[in-house]
Amino acid sequence: MSAAKTERLMNLLIMLLVQKRLVPKNRIRDILYPGMSDEAFDKMFERDKEELRSLGVPVEVGQLDAFFDDEPGYRISPDEFALPEIDLTADEAAVVGLATRVWEHQKLARATTEAVRKLTAAGAEIDLDALQIAQPRLPADEPAFDVFFEAIVARTVVEFDYWRTGAAAPAVRRVQPWGVTRYSGRWYVLGLDLDRGAERLFRLSRVQGEARKVGRPGAYTIPEGTDIAAATRRLAPDLSTEPVVVLARTGAALPLRRAAGTVETDVEGPDTRTGWDRLTLLRASVGVADEVLGFGDAVYVEAPASLRDQVVARLTAVLAR
């Protein structure tokens, strides 16, 4: 599907979704299909309307005036378009999370803003709350996500500083990214490491600073038959089943608290400036060091020892620099 068609369908969806009443066909034409002949508009509008319906969008049609058989109007009922409660597995939620990141991407955000601007300028009575049902909320909040996603679409090399486990300092890496995926609660990018001449897996949370697209678009092709999920499972670190136990200052580290299986309050901590709680995280320790370091001195690792040593090594390296 071309970018122009995608934007046109999205604008039509938004227009019909945010309206509080049926929209006349000629109004849709004036706002979204300006300058077209009658025949060209009728054909394109019918195709667009049927395409939305084929995607499961309930486009309604009705008479604008109950007493006259005049021009029909169209709308999308938020109640019919809203999704029911969905119970997702972890893997399914990861896929939805990737899709929602595409929705939240700035280019689509600009398209949504432009559609609403056109409707407002035309004097349409709109309901912006209706947009909330079309926007899932499973964010991929890694700063480097957008750069890698755009590079995958454009087939552009990405250069970035990467902090590998056990390294004293970040190293520059150049990669042809093949795909972005989520595994064991972390976002990874899989691709060809140009300096090593082999496929490699990189955790996005270990990318330091800004990742940079370099070179021309279309610089490479993704190897045929590449299975991103299978390669990620093969290359990702072995998952430890040992529980992670950390001490957190009272009221701090809310994300870790939400992920904790148990919370023991008012325990003895490494200092007496605040109270401390003991959190037991029922998940693998991979990636937890990045989270712990983000909380500074509000979190202290008790177990496993390997995780504590990793955190200490990272902090020591920072101080040495």
pLDDT band for position 303 (cuts 50, 70, 90): confident
> What pLDDT, on the 0 to 100 scale, is given for residue 246?
92
The whole-number average pLDDT for the span 6-17 is 80
Question: Would you mind telling me the total number of residues written for the chain in this entry?
Answer: 321
Exposure of 168 in the CB half-sphere (CA atoms within 13 A): 3
pLDDT digits (tens, 9 = 90+) for 192-225: 999 999 999 998 888 998 999 999 999 999 888 8
Architecture of the structural domain at 145-235: Roll (2.30)
> What pLDDT, on the 0 to 100 scale, is given for residue 80?
65
> What pLDDT, on the 0 to 100 scale, is given for residue 248?
93
Q: Are strands 207-214 and 186-193 parallel, antiparallel or unpaired?
A: unpaired
Lowest mean pLDDT, pick from 34-48, 69-83, 260-274, 304-318: 69-83
pTM for this model (two decimals): 0.43
pLDDT band for position 227 (cuts 50, 70, 90): confident
pLDDT digits (tens, 9 = 90+) for 250-268: 988 887 887 788 899 999 9
- 11 C-beta neighbours (distance < 10 Å), count: 22
> What pLDDT, on the 0 to 100 scale, is given for residue 224?
86
pLDDT digits (tens, 9 = 90+) for 81-116: 655 555 555 444 544 544 544 444 444 555 555 555
Measured CA angle at 54 (ends 51, 55), to 5 deg? 95
